[in-house]
A = this chain, B = another copy of it.
Amino acid sequence: MNDEITSAELPAGISASDEVTVEELQLALRNHGMHLEGLRHDLTPPGMHYLLIHFDVPEADESTWSLSIGGLVRNPVELSMADLRSRSRVTLPITLECAGNGRARLSPRPISQPWLTEAIGTAAWTGTPLRPLLEEAGIEDEAVELVFAAADRGIQGEVEHDYERSLTIAEAMRDEVLLAYEMNGAPLPPQHGFPLRLLVPGWYGMASVKWLTRITAVQEPFEGFQQTVYRFRQEPDDAGEPVTRIHPRSLIIPPGIPDFLTRRRFVEPGRHLLRGRAWSGWAPIERVEVSTDGCGTWTDATLGESASQFAWAPFTFEWDASEPGAVELSCRATDADGNTQPLEQPWNYHGFANNVVQVIPVEVRAPAG
């Protein structure tokens, strides 16, 4: 989009204002982000993990919850939570990010959940692998996708629907796709999908359907609202490419102390160990660079080990902050496929997959005395 566009020329749902509407604020107060200081934890405490709920948190009773697997399958089945818990059990640390993370930094801004940079989190999810269940159900040859339906229902895009997303059979058959019932060793919190949710490691969060009730094998690609909206478009009616895996991203824990309102940071002069995390849904993180001069020059950070193939990797960087004054800190991750983070974010109509490098303005104080 053109930077000098005026409000009158914008399509519906796009704002050129720097301020956010009350409707966006309502969403921001429900769908909270992770405090960036939470990056110090390998596993994000549940209440700190980002959250995006399209409709309401459904009222759920584990004792009567059931998951059906049907449609184009030879052996349709209805599973209780006890059935699912009695099956093989796997725990996998997974980093999730909302596809709309960073949306509110775009200009002009798509009107929806107004994320800045905090729609992230990593948890150890425990559940049973999906693949053996699908093999037992026996997917018919003419099926091309599986549709995952949730218990949360509402209106979006002027259509009333249960939240539903699909995966191709091949994607759903990946070994690491889970039906999860625990988060960090405790039952799922209500707002994270209690009692059962899908986990699609490597993909943006919209694929990991919470409050999962039905899996249906279908013979045509699914075209429900929540499937077709998640596409990279320049105009509302573009066909666009689907949003799938998480683009590489890295974030530093903002150093020093904040100002309450502006969140501007103040740091004592001296050497500081910057810490952060980096992740990509496409391939392992191979490199993280840090800039302390507003993206002018970059230096490699020290990269640590991820807790799993699908969890963020820690990194550290020794920062010599001996010069007082204003500094901009940034970091940039590159994965093994060569995907990296842009310095300027390409625009798309719904504001998806924003992975522009983080910029933390910091004031290094003058030495005391």
Contacts and interface: CB of A to CB of B under 8 A. Distances in A.
Contact of A20 (B20, B30, B31, B191): B20
B45 A259 contact: no
A13 to B, nearest CB: 9
A25 B54 CA distance: 19
A116 B190 CA distance: 22
Contact of A29 (B49, B57, B116, B261): B116
Interface stretch (A87-95, A148-156, A293-301, A343-351): A148-156
Contacts of A22: 18-20, 104
A81 interface: no
Nearest to A188: B45
B33 A30 contact: yes
A162 to B, nearest CB: 10
Interface stretch (A34-42, A136-144, A239-247, A311-319): A34-42
A38 to B, nearest CB: 7
Interface residues of A, number: 60
A257 B32 contact: no
A174 interface: no
Interface stretch (A69-77, A107-115, A215-223): A107-115
A130 interface: no
A190 B38 contact: yes
Contacts of A254: 56
B116 A45 contact: no
A155 B257 contact: yes
Given A35-B56, A155-B260, A156-B261, A115 B19 contact: no
Interface in A165-197: 186, 189-192
B115 A29 contact: yes
Question: Chain B CB within 10 Å — which of A46, A57, A260 has the most?
Answer: A260
A116 B26 contact: yes
A186 B46 CA distance: 12
Given A25-B25, A48-B190, A55 B260 contact: yes
A47 interface: yes
A200 to B, nearest CB: 21
Contacts of A160: 257, 266
A267 interface: no
Nearest to A117: B29
A118 interface: yes
Interface in A313-362: none
8 contacts: A19-B21, A19-B22, A20-B20, A26-B116, A32-B51, A55-B260, A56-B257, A186-B186
Given A25-B116, A46-B47, A155-B260, 9 more contacts: A19-B21, A25-B104, A26-B116, A28-B28, A31-B32, A38-B57, A46-B189, A56-B258, A154-B257
The 3 closest A-B pairs by CB, nearest first: A47-B47, A32-B32, A19-B19
